[in-house]
Amino acid sequence: VGGPDAAAKHAEELRAIKEKDPEFYKFLVEQDKVLLDFGAPDDEDRDEEEEGGEAEEAGDDGGLKGEDVAGAGAVAQGRVLTRERLERIQASAKDSFTACKAALNIYHTAVRSIEAQSAEAEAAEEEVDGADGEGDAGRRKKKKKQKEKSAVALKKARQRLFIIDDEAIFSDVVEWSIGNLLDLFKLYAGEARPAEASAGGRGGKKRKGGQQDTAAAPAEAKPGPTDPRTCQRWLRVRVLAHIFWEDTFVLLNHLVAQEMLEAVLRCCSTPEALAWLWPFTAVRQRYLKRVSFLWATSPAQEVRLLAFLFLRNAAAIVMCSSDSPKSESLQLEALIKLALRAFADVASQGYTWRSISTFRFLENCIVELLRLDDATAYRLGYVCLRQLALILRNACVNAVAGTGGPGAKAKAKARAMKKALEKAKEKGKADGGQKKHKGAQQQ
């Protein structure tokens, strides 16, 4: 998929950047090999895909050699990201794949800084909580673990290509990355292959344990957004897309401001964005759980609405392009069950007249999901009614038998007290009889 044409195109892109900005061109050439050399999230099948994509990316270096970038990582460590450099990278991302990787690296650095701050705050809280009620051995053990974590975090920080120390730059990085990176991945992935080429060109290969690789393109073209696995250069951007979704999930977990959550969900809930999430099964499941939680618990109506839009579009994609033809109804059922469980958890905490409108909204959302497929709605309704009937039957049986409920406990307690009183009376009578017998003998 790579080859001389891709290498020539990339070299032409670099030459254009060299003419516009020689200093920035030098930076890109030096850092091309280390832009993705950071603690990227683990992927169960990433190694296999990288083996197939290394030859591809080798053709995109524009003739760069390994010795040209020797020692560049040491020089780049500790480099503070300035607004000028950020604007150059963002402006060049559409023209240079290297600049696109640099933009992703900056986004990763910004997101992981949030995670590091949260970890430090949690460690401080644990230290305060553990100061009371623990011995010296326990405190030493915790201190040792904290030192090890700090050492790992420091090592990762030293390996970072950029350092962001300005909140305004951080906000710009997050906002721009969420809104533009997926479009850049689509640009560099190329056009979609025909259905015949997708089915025969790159068959799905087996992973360890005999599982089929989800990176393989589907055999038939289906309605809906374009499946990125059918793109000509999918393997070129697959790792980048996975890193993007992992980092965005960190944002969803750690963001507190409802406005930021709204912005993230607005960009990630579109069918086109979800199509780029769909190839990563494990990450997708984590997103569905987190978004279901936000849909049920967020105090902001806009966040709840966008979270439902995420679930609704995800359900539509399940019906258009499920993992396998036989698993469509099972996947849709699992998604609706996630929403039902989140709704049940919130309802179990109680509600007031002020939250009635919120619960009506959640109920309408569930009805909307059930309307997608009649067979799935019938199956879920049957199972729920059966469970309700069993609960009602058990409650009635326990009430009749007198073994359940607060009334049964009160009766059991009364019976126990009655038995104790009877025993006390019998003991008193026995003691009185013994005293009379002793008195008669003495006389």
pTM (two decimals): 0.69
Question: Can you tell me the distance from the alpha carbon of 146 to that of 313, in angstroms, rounded to the nearest whole number?
Answer: 42
Model pLDDT, residue 212: 46
Angle at which helices 356-370 and 281-297 cross, to 10°: 140
CA 27 to mean position of chain CA atoms: 33
Closest CA to 229 of 163, 262, 283, 185: 185
The residues pairing with 206 across neighbouring beta strands, listed in sequence order, are: 212
Question: Can you tell me the distance from the alpha carbon of 110 to that of 91, in angstroms, rounded to the nearest whole number?
Answer: 19
Instruction: Using DSSP, state whether 24 is helix, strand or coil.
Output: helix
Closest CA to 180 of 261, 86, 116: 86
Tokens of 347: 């309802």
The pLDDT of residue 68 is above 50: no
DSSP 60: T
Question: Can you tell me the distance from the alpha carbon of 88 to that of 97, in angstroms, rounded to the nearest whole number?
Answer: 14
Question: Can you tell me the distance from the alpha carbon of 376 to that of 140, in angstroms, rounded to the nearest whole number?
Answer: 55
Number of H helices, E strands in the chain: 18, 0
The CA–CA distances, whole Å, from 138 to 123, 241, 438 equal: 14, 42, 65
Model pLDDT, residue 233: 92
The pLDDT of residue 267 is above 70: yes
Q: Which of 97-111, 192-206, 210-224 has the highest mean pLDDT?
A: 97-111
Backbone angle region of 210, left / alpha / beta, with phi > 0 → left and psi within -120 to 50 → alpha: left
As a whole number, mean pLDDT of residues 218-247 equals: 83
Torsion of CA 208, 212, 217, 218, to 10 degrees: 180
Residue-wise pLDDT for 381-428, tens only, equals 999 899 889 888 888 887 776 555 555 666 677 777 778 778 777 776
Q: Is 60 exposed, middle or buried (0-12, 13-18, 19+ CB in 10 A)?
A: buried
* Radius of gyration for the chain, computed over Cα atoms and rounded to the nearest angstrom: 32
Q: Which of 71-75, 78-82, 167-171 has the lowest mean pLDDT?
A: 71-75
Model pLDDT, residue 235: 92
Residue-wise pLDDT for 98-150, tens only, equals 889 989 999 998 888 887 666 555 555 555 555 554 556 666 666 666 666 65
Model pLDDT, residue 135: 55
Angle at which helices 258-268 and 234-254 cross, to 10°: 160
Residue with the bigger pLDDT between 152 and 359: it is 359
The pLDDT of residue 356 is above 50: yes
As a whole number, mean pLDDT of residues 263-283 equals: 93
Angle at which helices 405-442 and 374-401 cross, to 10°: 20
The pLDDT of residue 173 is above 80: yes
Contact 246, 287 (CB under 8 A): no
Contact 38, 160 (CB under 8 A): yes
